[in-house]
Amino acid sequence: MVQLTEFRVVMPLSLEEYRIAQMYMVTKMQEQQTSGTEGVEVLVNEPFENEEFGKGQYTSKIYHLQSKAPAWLTAIAPANSLIIEEEAWNAYPKCKTGEYRFTSTCPYFTRFKLTVETIHVADNGQSHNVHNLPNELLNSRKVEVIDIASNVRDYWSYVIGGPPVDLETFQSKKTGRGLLQPGWQSTANPVMTAYKLVTVDAPYWGFGYRLEQLLLGGERALFVESHKRCFAWIDDWYGLSFEDVRQMELRMDQALNEALHHQHAPQTAGNPLAPDVKGSTLSSSTGTATSDVIGTQEVDAREQQQLELQKNCAQNKIGGEKIVETNVQMMISSPF
């Protein structure tokens, strides 16, 4: 079943300020998330022009974040299926901010789909249908207005990482904005809203709906935590030009790729290849993610299970409508 949710993120910024703040925030958060083994690998970052969006910036990225996946998902999925590919077309103020795919040698992961389409509007989140959805989609759309000043945190908030940010007590030294008390959205000046339409479809028997809800929860937390920092870092990015931040982004892209590639072993001919957006192939890291808190025996067992699953997938023993039955009960009973 396709899940359609419109998240409305209200910000105490102008449209032009948000454009710079968002780029600064994305670059800085990618830096914080990237180490020698996991993080964001930037494959392409270049201008584009097409009929749908006009002119903008196209990016293609790979997220190596296997250790942050919930336990029930890592129990049934090969390690390389938990590496996520993202394509994005940023033609601000309209963006198709993501088209996400699991990379996997297993055929049942190829039907997964997650897209995020964003339109930025100079209002406080009250526009009814900025995405011009037809009536049938409007009837199935859910709307959630996100308050960046909320201090409620959940599982995904901690997965995203970073210290808690309290915007009720924060005030910008450069602009004087801040102390976002309850109801601030109706009095903020300037103000704008990022209308993020998230479509997720995981048509898999036994765990598809659960996976969809999991991913929606992850997107919600990402929007909250990233936009908290977007405003909390205002004194860092305020006064920078668009070109200043673009150059910082390009330098950071190179640094992130070097940080990842420095630790990854060279790919061999037997490793899976992930197609890039131009139709060529490039190797993707498929190392099993481990954590200091996971014992050696558990890691070995997980690796063995993943190897068996990959072998079954290669032999077409796991079809699109079937899952490994021994893991069904674990998926149902596990909290994540």
pTM over 0.75: no
Residue tagged 């601030």 (tokens): 184
Q: Which residues pair with 196 in a beta bridge?
A: 7, 118
Of the candidates 212, 162, 119, the one whose C-alpha atom is nearest the C-alpha of residue 30 is 162
Out of 96-105, 146-155, 211-220, 261-270, which region has the weakest mean confidence (pLDDT)?
261-270
Tens-digit pLDDT profile for residues 206-242: 677 777 888 888 889 889 989 999 999 999 999 999 9
Q: How confident is the model at residue 71 (pLDDT cuts 50, 70, 90)?
A: low
The pairing of strands 142-146 and 3-11 is parallel
Beta carbons within 8 Å of 266's beta carbon, 6+ residues apart = none
**Superfamily of segment(s) 3-333:** START domain (3.30.530.20)
Average pLDDT value for residue range 284-313: 40
Question: Which tokens go with 256?
Answer: 């992130």
CB contact at 8 A, 286 and 264: no
Write the single-letter amino acid at 115: T
Question: Which tokens go with 19?
Answer: 């454009």
Q: How confident is the model at residue 61 (pLDDT cuts 50, 70, 90)?
A: confident
Residue 5's pLDDT is what? 96
From the number of C-beta atoms within 10 Å of its C-beta (0-12, 13-18, 19+), residue 321 rates as: exposed
% of the chain with per-residue pLDDT over 90? 40
Average pLDDT value for residue range 166-173: 96
The angle formed by the CA atoms of residues 235, 20 and 247, to the nearest 5 degrees, is 100
The pairing of strands 113-121 and 142-146 is unpaired
Average pLDDT value for residue range 283-307: 38
Residue 234's pLDDT is what? 98
Give 318's DSSP letter: S
Give 127's DSSP letter: -
Give the whole-angstrom CA distance, residue 159 versus residue 25: 17
Tens-digit pLDDT profile for residues 94-119: 998 665 665 554 455 566 778 899 99
Query: What are the sequence ranges of the domains in the chain?
Result: 3-333
Residue 86's pLDDT is what? 84
